[in-house]
Amino acid sequence: MNLLHELNDPIQYLKGVGEAKAKKFACLGIKTIYDLLTYYPRLYQDRSKVNRIFSLQNGQKETFSGIVIGHTNAAFHRKGIKLTKTCVSDGTGYVYLLFFGGYNMEKTLPLRTKIFVTGRIRRYQGEIQVTDFEYEIIDEKERELLHTNRIVPIYSLTEKVPASIGQRMIRQAVQQALEKFCNIKDMLPAEILLRQQLSDYYTALKNIHLPESQEEYKKARNRLVFNEFFLLQLAFGISQKKIATTEAGIRYFTCGKLVDTFINSLPFTLTEAQKRVIKEIMDDMSKPIPMNRLIHGDVGSGKTVVAACAALIACENGYQTAFMSPTEILAEQHFLTLSRLLQPLEIRLGVLTSSTKKRQRDNLLDRTKEGKIDILIGTHALIQDAVIFKQLGLCIIDEQHRFGVVQRAALKEKARDKDNQPITPDILVMTATPIPRTLALTLYGDLSTSVIDELPPSRLPVITRCRSEQSMDKIFSFIRQEVSDGRQAYIVYPLIEESEEMDLKAAVTMFEELKKVFPEFHLGLLHGQMKVQEKDETMTAFYNHQINILVSTTVIEVGIDVSNATIMLIEHAQRFGLAQLHQLRGRVGRGGHKSYCILMATEKIANMVNSNIPLNQIDDTIFKGAKRLQTMCETNDGFKIAEVDLEIRGPGEFFGTRQHGMPELKLANIIYDAQLLELARKEAFALLKNDPFLTDIDHQDIKKTFFYEFKDRIELGSVG
Ligand code: ADP
Ligand code: MG
């Protein structure tokens, strides 16, 4: 008996495959039995319901059976392609199967052959026809019908695959493989299968490909999804254990007064969610093991204040904090915000980016090294070798998904204790992209998570509409009216074709245009290629209300906080991702004024968005774009938006698979299968609790499989 991944036999030796076909399979990445059996169907068609010909519905995909009663070779004018019509009857009517390309159908389908056909029915010139169909000959000797009269698997075929490889070929090979290797071993211990009521592995494989019923399919899928999650969570469990056992952390005293003083000094009261998360952080920090906590909360949920509390605890204990942000403008903004908030407490802050002037930079580095800076805020400039801390104990990383794992580790390296010895710091990761809990578990399974699931009461939902060029005049007069009332507006241009040059040009050109449209207002321009000082000046002018309308590229995406701004106009909105759109919209609706987000798109997309037709054809770019904009119009809830985003894009693309070392999930969907993920996590952690190094004789198959799946991806330290 073999584990599935041990089945490395080339598929060439399967009955009916052979060398030539094996080459074609290789185009799909299928070389071995393992590859083939884990090439799961993309979808299924229920062809188990066989209809009588007289009842076939025009335009529907239907299955019927019958006997071949004749062939006619019709001349098909276009491009000299020959057309053969094969007539099939079941006694209740006739259907013509249309074959293009001059096949010898008399030979392939001799008269009186019994066949099953599934295809889309059309009534044309008084005939019932099918053009897009699959058929299977009923051979009384054959054991089982594969392509029709059953639930039929449909596999993905990419464009790169030769036309001669088809669904039938894959199905046949799969069927052969399943027959030949019917004793594939289960890697999971029987007790887990029993406890979670999972079917055995071979049955699951068989039924994922060739289910006899919906129920069988569901059970099979459950089992295989569980498997994927189980292995993944095992990996997290192992790396977490490694952190806990090998690294001692800082035990902070958290009963000081600084945090309370700070909270009392704020011009607002914290939300319950903020209070809860601050408490979770304090609990972590007071323990001798290092904190590894992820905070996720929607745009504007007030993460900065929470992070400041953590920094204050570090500060009170004599430790410095490094606060890393993804962009210069955001680092600057954090610096300004925190300076303002922490001023009464006499906390010493600094900001370091790649455009900090040399003299200032040298001074800053000196003070950091001497311990005269309590919180050093910055971009990835913080991880440069020149940056040396006297006693760094806390790393706060904002918008983490923009940083690679490497940067995170490099920052960690800089931590020092009071004797200037290396130490493992506490880590707080903040993300403004609200991550569905299930995704957090899969992506950051090694971090504890806190959610700020409540917005400050002053936040109003932003009224969001999708419009096209045609409505431009109306929109301009709306902006004019709002700005005349004292409000401010953002107009944003997307990154076009990933080229900053073009991006810039579009924004600059439009800036000039808009100045003509709004001669009575002050317009400002903000883009990524401006000097920091220029950016600062523009931002400050916008803060101070000297600029009414800010025209910008996406540099304003994160963190900008001007509560008087009420309009966010986004050009070419269909080009933005959902997370980005949500971030942008989060720039307005921050004060007491009603706010608006106007998403500009092509007329076609705007019509689709506004038509209320459910947009479910999500593999099409236009549909995807429209679906994103429709979602924005429907909800302000960041978590819902993140879920739709995940649904449209898939988890790999959500953050970029490679950066996170996240293995691709073949079958599991972290939204729909959330429950299974939890169960798998429980089982995986329970197993590791009893057998942390997978030494148990019953766990050897898991161990082997685990190593096979993760050998390149996860540092396994002591295991194995
Ligand atoms: P984000 O989570 O998007 O980083 P910020 O921390 O930037 O949010 O907070 C956004 C704005 O809300 C800031 O101006 C901040 O001072 C303010 N704020 C934070 N917490 C509260 C609260 N509990 N009540 C009112 N305003 C708050
Ligand atoms: Mg923020």
Pocket test for ligand 1, best of 263, 269, 303, 304 (most atoms within 8 A of CB): 304
At residue 545's C-alpha, the angle toward residues 636 and 501, to 5°, is 70
Q: How many whole angstroms separate alpha carbon 687 and alpha carbon 654?
A: 30
By CB atoms closer than 10 A (0-12, 13-18, 19+), residue 203 is middle
pLDDT of residue 403: 60
SS3 helix, strand, coil % of the chain, rounded to 5? 45, 20, 35
Question: The tokens 């994922």 sit on which residue?
Answer: 208
Q: For strand 127-137 and strand 114-124, is the pairing parallel, antiparallel, or unpaired?
A: antiparallel
Q: Among 1.10.150.130, 3.10.20.30, 3.40.50.300, 3.90.550.10, what is the CATH number of 268-287+301-431?
A: 3.40.50.300
pLDDT confidence bin for 164, thresholds 50/70/90: low
Task: Give 516-558 pLDDT, tens digit per residue.
Answer: 999 999 999 988 777 777 877 888 889 889 999 999 887 665 5
pLDDT of residue 659: 41
Of residues 155 and 143, more confidence is placed in 155
pLDDT of residue 416: 93
Q: How many whole angstroms separate alpha carbon 43 and alpha carbon 559?
A: 42
Yes or no: say if 160 and 27 are a contact pair by the CB < 8 Å rule.
yes
Q: Which atom of ligand 1 is nearest to the CA of 305?
A: 6
Q: How many whole angstroms separate alpha carbon 377 and alpha carbon 339?
A: 11
pLDDT at residue 656 is higher than 70 = no
Q: What is the percentage of the chain residues whose pLDDT exceeds 70?
A: 85
pLDDT at residue 76 is higher than 70 = no
Q: How many whole angstroms separate alpha carbon 512 and alpha carbon 96?
A: 63
pLDDT at residue 504 is higher than 60 = no
Is residue 433 in contact with ligand 1, taking CB distance under 6 Å?
no
- Ligand 1 geometric centre to CA of 295 (Å): 14
pLDDT of residue 59: 86
- Ligand 2 geometric centre to CA of 600 (Å): 26
What CATH number labels 49-149?
Answer: 2.40.50.140
Closest by CA position to 564, among listed 583, 541, 582, 588: 588
pLDDT confidence bin for 243, thresholds 50/70/90: low
Of residues 447 and 27, more confidence is placed in 27
Sign of CA dihedral 388, 390, 394, 398: negative
pLDDT of residue 337: 86
Pocket test for ligand 1, best of 309, 460, 561, 590 (most atoms within 8 A of CB): 561
Closest by CA position to 201, among listed 702, 635, 619, 535: 702
Amino acid at 510: M
pLDDT at residue 719 is higher than 50 = no
Would the CATH topology of 49-149 be identical to that of 463-635? no
CA 681 to chain centre: 20
Is residue 430 in contact with ligand 1, taking CB distance under 6 Å?
no
Which range of 3-17, 200-214, 551-565 scores highest in mean pLDDT? It is 200-214
- Ligand 2 geometric centre to CA of 438 (Å): 23
Q: What is the percentage of the chain residues whose pLDDT exceeds 90?
A: 42
Task: Give 570-623 pLDDT, tens digit per residue.
Answer: 998 988 888 889 888 988 988 889 999 999 998 988 988 888 666 665 557 778
Ligand 1 atom 9: residue of nearest CA? 302
- Ligand 2 geometric centre to CA of 580 (Å): 14
Is residue 587 in contact with ligand 1, taking CB distance under 6 Å?
no
β-pair partners for 464: 597
Q: Which ligand is nearest to the CA of 277?
A: 1
pLDDT at residue 624 is higher than 60 = yes
Q: For strand 82-89 and strand 61-75, is the pairing parallel, antiparallel, or unpaired?
A: antiparallel
Yes or no: say if 548 and 488 are a contact pair by the CB < 8 Å rule.
yes
- Ligand 1 geometric centre to CA of 412 (Å): 27
Which range of 140-154, 360-374, 492-506 scores highest in mean pLDDT? It is 360-374
pLDDT of residue 597: 97
Closest by CA position to 43, among listed 244, 209, 284: 209
pLDDT confidence bin for 714, thresholds 50/70/90: very low
Q: How many whole angstroms separate alpha carbon 540 and alpha carbon 546?
A: 9
Residue 138: in which H helix or E strand, if any? none
Is residue 456 in contact with ligand 1, taking CB distance under 6 Å?
yes
- Ligand 1 geometric centre to CA of 520 (Å): 33
Q: Which ligand is nearest to the CA of 301?
A: 1
Radius of gyration (C-alpha) of the chain in whole angstroms: 31
pLDDT at residue 661 is higher than 50 = no
| Average pLDDT along the chain | 85
Annotation: CATH topology of 463-635: Rossmann fold (3.40.50)
pLDDT confidence bin for 13, thresholds 50/70/90: confident
Residue 462: in which H helix or E strand, if any? none
Task: Give 111-150 pLDDT, tens digit per residue.
Answer: 999 888 888 899 988 899 998 888 877 776 555 677 767 8
pLDDT of residue 712: 55
Least confident of 384-388, 400-404, 437-441: 400-404
Yes or no: say if 467 and 475 are a contact pair by the CB < 8 Å rule.
yes
Ligand 1 atom 23: residue of nearest CA? 270
Amino acid at 537: E
Of residues 157 and 485, more confidence is placed in 485
Which tokens belong to 152? 């039929």
pLDDT of residue 294: 87
pLDDT of residue 406: 64
pLDDT of residue 80: 67
Question: The tokens 């060029």 sit on which residue?
Answer: 469
> What is the pLDDT averaged over residues 46-53?
84
pLDDT of residue 715: 44
Q: Structural domain boundaries of the chain?
A: 49-149, 268-287+301-431, 463-635
pLDDT at residue 496 is higher than 60 = no
pLDDT of residue 160: 62
